[in-house]
Amino acid sequence: MKTRGPLHRAARAVARRALRRAARQLAPPPAELEPGAWRLERDALGRLTVDTLPLAGVADRFGTPLHVVDAVRLRENAARFVNCPTAHGSGVEIFYPYKTNPVPGVLRALHKAGAGAETASPYELWLAGTLGVDPSRIVYNCRIKPESALHEAIAKGVGLINAGSRLELAAISAAARATGKRARIGIRAAVPGTLASHCGERIDDGSALQTFAEALERPELDVVALHAHPNAELATADELRAYVAAVLRFAGALRTRLRLDLEIIDLGGNLVCPTVTHLSPVVARVQMALGREAPPPERRALLTIEDYVELSTSQIETHYKRAGRPMPRVFLEPGRSMTSNAQLLLLTVVQVRSPDDTGVSTVVLDGGINVAEPLKGERHQVFAANARPGAERRHYRLIGPTGTSNDLLYPSVYLPELQPGDVVAVMDSGAYFVPTSTTYSFPRPGVVMIDRGQLTILRRAETFEDLVALDRLEAA
């Protein structure tokens, strides 16, 4: 196989620069969303504020990288789910997925607002108990459920244990026998078009029906729920209707074939966050090659929280009313749409390098993919937190501090002129930023909450000592 030499690489570099110049000339910079979409404002000095509190000042006080939670927006989001009025009046039951943002201070606020806990590991099950969540308000979803965790969940009366496959039934049954209590279970079914290999028994090949049939034959199990998950963003009303219709078709088959009347239909989550754009691998590569950032989402075309709750519940209600049967309880597990836009990540500019021959300046920040891994496949709005009035907007490439070539947060973004010491705010860090952050060369950031101008530390930043707290440093 021939190796590509320096001339080939040089030619590719020339072509890439030419493409980037053409892209800059042919297309204007994409419009950015307004700060008000996140309850942010700019004061007379150009500083980005939450409830009149300048974010740059918060960064000065606590250091960066730093996550900032907006308590008001968090409560608003929770209330829109928990208290959303529906046509039939019964509403839905909300269970927040701990894996989305496992910060106890955030979780406490959501539980206080009426959300239950969706736990996907023995640790999260333990954490829900530690935070005082009523066991009946816990859903335990996990591909691997250790015997000890199953014993605990059944003994404490966890409201619902969802089996992700037929292979889990024997272990759940054994744990129920050992505790002397029946386990309330659901079975996850993969509706056609979703990722069956990810989790759940397939509906289209009969595996899901067979799994329900086997579960019903086990006296230790109280089969009460059908669990499903779209495994992809639900962004439009048509996508939601198609997904719910597939779930209801299978619920009908369970009654017809197995005479099972469900107590619960658990629709999972994946409602779109209106201020985040998911980038396919192809789009991400094109963005990288052309040095162009993806446009923000078209918010008017997307499902709102109210639409999501009303459409899903009304569709289920109509189905059961036509069948002349009582409507089951409806569980939703919203994660991203609950907390993403209630949190932001502050980073400090360390270096601003001279523009390259395409006119793009590289900015080095004090946090990168180590604290913002979702940016590999998502477009998040970024703002200058202390923009100076009248500052010229410039074309930047934002990179992180780690020694890896893929530590690229934004290949292309237009911001007011940046200087070392300035602070930028990456929006929507409330979903999967915290749990996917790593200790790759740097400690993980702290988390603070702003509640109508009052600051509370939810999690202090890690120290160097924290990184080696479990290690033996002295010679053996």
Q: Are residues 237 and 361 in the same domain?
A: no
Please identify, among 283, 313, 338, the residue that sits at the C-terminal boundary of a domain: 338
Q: 5 lies in a domain?
A: no
Buried b or exposed e, range 305-318, using 16+ CB within 10 angstroms: beebbbbbbebbbe
Q: 53 lies in a domain?
A: yes
Q: Are residues 274 and 375 in the same domain?
A: no
Q: 95 lies in a domain?
A: yes
The structure tokens listed for 244 are 């719910």
Q: Are residues 86 and 168 in the same domain?
A: yes
9, burial (CB in 10 Å: exposed 0-12, middle 13-18, buried 19+): exposed
Cα separations in angstroms, 400 against 55, 296, 440: 20, 22, 12
Q: 470 lies in a domain?
A: no
Q: What is the pLDDT of residue 281?
A: 61
CB 385 within 8 A of CB 422: yes
Instruction: List, in sequence order, the alpha helices (H) in 136-236.
Output: 147-156, 169-179, 207-216
Q: Are residues 169 and 40 in the same domain?
A: no
The structure tokens listed for 329 are 């309880």
Q: Are residues 318 and 363 in the same domain?
A: no
Distance between CA 382 and CA 121 in Å, rounded? Answer: 32
Query: What CATH number is attached to the domain comprising 56?
Result: 2.40.37.10
Distance between CA 349 and CA 373 in Å, rounded? Answer: 18
Domain that holds residue 48: 30-68+341-461
Q: Are residues 259 and 363 in the same domain?
A: no
CB 316 within 8 A of CB 265: yes
Please identify, among 338, 372, 396, the residue that sits at the C-terminal boundary of a domain: 338
Q: Which residues lie across from 67 on neighbouring strands?
A: 345, 447
Q: 51 lies in a domain?
A: yes
Distance between CA 47 and CA 41 in Å, rounded? Answer: 8
Q: 443 lies in a domain?
A: yes
| Residue 471 half-sphere exposure toward CB, CA atoms < 13 A | 8
In this structure, the strands spanning 221-227 and 183-190 are: parallel
Cβ neighbour number for residue 341 with a 10 Å cutoff: 26
- The three-point CA angle 143-170-328 to 5° equals 70
Q: How many domains does the chain have?
A: 2
Please identify, among 303, 338, 373, the residue that sits at the C-terminal boundary of a domain: 338
Q: 476 lies in a domain?
A: no
Buried b or exposed e, range 176-208, using 16+ CB within 10 angstroms: beebeebbbbbbbbbbeebebeebbbbbeeebb
Q: What is the pLDDT of residue 426?
A: 98
User: What letter would DSSP give residue 431?
Assistant: S
Q: State residue 12 phi and psi, 5-degree precision.
A: -65, -40
Instruction: List, in sequence order, the alpha helices (H) in 259-304.
Output: 281-290
Q: What is the pLDDT of residue 279?
A: 78
Task: Name every residue whose Cβ is closer than 8 Å to that of residue 366 and which is 6 or more positions away in sequence.
Answer: 64, 65, 347, 348, 350, 401
Q: What is the pLDDT of residue 9?
A: 56
**CA-CA-CA-CA dihedral for 233, 238, 243, 249, to nearest 10:** 180
Q: Are residues 325 and 363 in the same domain?
A: no
Q: What is the pLDDT of residue 26?
A: 45
Tokens 């390098």 — which residue? 353
Q: Are residues 260 and 374 in the same domain?
A: no
Q: Are residues 39 and 168 in the same domain?
A: no
Q: 175 lies in a domain?
A: yes
| Centroid of chain to Cα 96 | 11
Q: Are residues 279 and 144 in the same domain?
A: yes
Under-70 pLDDT residues of the chain = 1-31, 85-91, 195-198, 280-300, 476
Q: Are residues 79 and 49 in the same domain?
A: no
> Which of 209, 201, 197, 141 has the alpha carbon at shortest distance from 172?
141
Q: Are residues 440 and 361 in the same domain?
A: yes
The structure tokens listed for 40 are 């942010």
122-130 and 147-156 helices cross at what angle (nearest 10)? 30
